[in-house]
Amino acid sequence: MNYENKVMCKECGGKCCLNCGCTYMVSDFRVLNKEVVHNLLNTQRVSISSSQFLMESIIKGYKFHYIFQLRARNIDRGEIDLFSFTNTCASLTSNGCYFDLKHRPGCGVHLIPDKDDCYVDYDSNEELFKWFNYQNMLKEVIYERTGMTSDEVIKEDIIKAYYDILNDNYECLSKANAEDMMSMLCYLKDIYPECLDEAYKRGRKK
């Protein structure tokens, strides 16, 4: 299967890649263990990222649930990028994708260019849920790379996101991504009020 259409993607200018790096599929790996993940992070082209789901419980109110996965790294983002404004994929070059088809993250390989609306040949939720079996392994890698738990990294990332908003530092965002992020922030301030306080404090110290 090869959906690549370099002519159409060149004309488009890589709109999908300007929004965010594409995500790996579990099926991209013959073996997926800590060593493989460390090696990928060492290439500087991949990050551990997360997808967030907002959940509501009658007792505890709103809460985010995170699913960790691997994704092509975005510009100015680190190897552990659990919660941030999305940004252009760092592997987008003037000649298209840095990765050849064999090494490109699966969600990019399975994206079908179309002049009206590009689409995928897989079920996004199904692919995401396949990462469930690898959550503990990815959390261990996060700890080994940062010395922090995934919860601690997420809070630190949220403080940075708040800080950037308070300082109007989000020009890299597409309009659609900015709207998504802003809608999420309404919940964040209730779920993580301490992060907002900390972002204000850091702003005052400058």
Q: Kindly give the interhelix angle for 34-42 and 135-146, rounded to the nearest 10 degrees.
A: 50
Determine if residue 14 is left, alpha or beta; phi over 0 gives left, psi from -120 to 50 gives alpha, anything else beta.
left
Q: Based on the shown chain and the rule CB under 6 A, indicate whether residue 21 belongs to the binding site for ligand SF4.
A: yes
Q: Which range in 12-20, 32-40, 58-66, 149-157 contacts ligand SF4 by CB under 6 A?
A: 12-20
Q: Which residue has the tokens 């900015």?
A: 178
The count of chain residues that interact with ligand SF4, using the rule CB under 6 A, is: 21
In the complex with ligand SF4, the residue whose CB is nearer, 101 or 182, is 101
Q: Which of 14, 128, 139, 156 binds ligand SF4 (CB under 6 A)?
A: 14
Site string for ligand SF4, 53-82 (x = CB under 6 A): -------------------x----------
Instruction: Return the number of other C-beta atoms located less than 10 Å from residue 141's C-beta.
Output: 25
Q: Based on the shown chain and the rule CB under 6 A, indicate whether residue 46 belongs to the binding site for ligand SF4.
A: no
C-beta separation of 126 from 26 below 8 A: no
Q: Based on the shown chain and the rule CB under 6 A, indicate whether residue 118 belongs to the binding site for ligand SF4.
A: yes
- Distances in whole angstroms, Cα of residue 9 to Cα of each of 47, 71, 89: 24, 20, 15
